[in-house]
């Protein structure tokens, strides 16, 4: 395929998969449960954090997290008691356990109490065509209070050559607003032009088959390579191609 043909092919796939039907089988459905901004962004952050492995299990365990928080995530973050936190000890999703969950709640409380909330922290260090430095700075703030060392592995740092797939996916959810109803677009202080594709095994394999990616590992360097290609197709909204790459990989076995 020529570059023009490849762009047209991917644009068609974005239209095919960036529809309300996508929500039914994707963790993006979790933040859609809420209308208050803080509830949406906290529910989204927690569900994105555990978004690896079987998607049905991710969605099931995301619901369990919210159930343990009384289905009022912002109120729980700001007003929890020690007894409330103790209930979270029963939670586990793969290597993310109850102690990690408790640490996340405490860190989120610190972010809303002292740093202006999640959007403010992520928006503070954004660059014209990258959120990777912003994500790294977010991690520093997130773990600026006492925490278990083991919990740090659940927030990626792009400056350590991580693709930071789950946080890039979360940012797509919060920032993009293309009127299709999949991404929520509630954050107004971050540009879609700064977003990066959530690079995982599916999108990475499809990108390689299409000649968009040559690097074999799904790491930060691969993300930079893929970003550069996708920005050639749409500099203002490069992350929309996540729908095409993911859909081709997961739904079509491309």
Residue 4 has pLDDT above 90, yes or no: yes
168 torsion bin: left (phi>0), alpha (psi -120 to 50), beta (else): alpha
For residue 194, the model assigns a pLDDT of: 97
For residue 165, the model assigns a pLDDT of: 97
The residues near 122 (Cβ < 8 Å, ≥ 6 apart) are 131, 134, 135, 138, 171, 187, 190
Residue 27 has pLDDT above 90, yes or no: yes
For the residues 90-97, what does the mean pLDDT come to?
A: 98
C-alpha torsion sign, points 226, 231, 236, 237: negative
152-181 pLDDT per residue, tens: 999 999 999 999 999 999 999 999 999 999
Residue 207 has pLDDT above 90, yes or no: yes
For residue 60, the model assigns a pLDDT of: 98
For residue 254, the model assigns a pLDDT of: 82
For residue 17, the model assigns a pLDDT of: 97
For residue 236, the model assigns a pLDDT of: 97
Please state, in angstroms and rounded to a whole number, the distance separating the CA atoms of residues 187 and 177.
9
The residues near 193 (Cβ < 8 Å, ≥ 6 apart) are 128, 129, 235, 236, 237, 238
For residue 29, the model assigns a pLDDT of: 98
For the residues 189-210, what does the mean pLDDT come to?
A: 96
Domain housing 134: 3-250
Per-residue confidence band for 213, with pLDDT thresholds at 50, 70 and 90 = very high
- H or E stretch covering 245: helix 241-250
Residue 1 has pLDDT above 90, yes or no: no
For residue 128, the model assigns a pLDDT of: 87
Residue 104 has pLDDT above 90, yes or no: yes
Residue 134 has pLDDT above 90, yes or no: yes
CA–chain centroid gap for 12, Å, is 23
Average pLDDT, the chain: 97
Residue 61 has pLDDT above 90, yes or no: yes
Residue 220 has pLDDT above 90, yes or no: yes
Domain count, the chain: 1
Percent of the chain with pLDDT over 90: 97
Return the DSSP state at 31: G
Percent of the chain with pLDDT over 70: 100
For residue 253, the model assigns a pLDDT of: 83
Answer yes or no: are the C-beta atoms of 200 and 229 closer than 8 Å.
no
């Amino acid at each position: 395929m020529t570059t023009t043909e490849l762009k047209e092919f991917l644009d068609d796939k974005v239209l095919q998969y960036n529809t309300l039907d996508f929500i039914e089988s994707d963790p993006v459905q979790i933040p859609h449960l809420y209308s208050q901004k803080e509830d949406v962004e906290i529910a989204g952050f927690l569900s994105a954090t555990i978004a690896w492995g079987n998607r049905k299990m991710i969605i099931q365990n995301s619901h369990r997290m919210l159930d343990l928080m009384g289905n009022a995530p912002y109120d729980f973050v700001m007003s929890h008691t020690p007894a409330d936190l103790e209930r979270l000890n029963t939670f586990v999703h793969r290597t993310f356990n109850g102690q990690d969950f408790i640490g996340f709640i405490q860190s989120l409380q610190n972010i809303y109490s002292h740093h202006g909330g999640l959007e403010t922290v992520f928006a503070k260090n954004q660059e014209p065509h990258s959120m990777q430095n912003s994500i790294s700075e977010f991690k520093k703030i997130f773990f600026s209070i006492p925490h278990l060392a083991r919990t740090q592995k659940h927030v990626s740092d792009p400056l350590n050559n991580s693709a930071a797939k789950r946080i890039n996916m979360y940012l797509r959810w919060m920032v993009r607003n293309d009127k299709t109803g999949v991404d929520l677009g509630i954050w107004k202080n971050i540009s879609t032009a700064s977003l990066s594709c959530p690079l995982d095994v599916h999108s990475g394999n499809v990108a390689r088959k299409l000649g968009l990616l040559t690097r074999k590992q799904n790491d930060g360097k691969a993300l930079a390579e893929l970003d550069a290609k996708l920005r050639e197709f749409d500099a203002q909204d490069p992350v929309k191609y996540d729908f095409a790459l993911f859909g081709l990989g997961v739904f079509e076995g491309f």
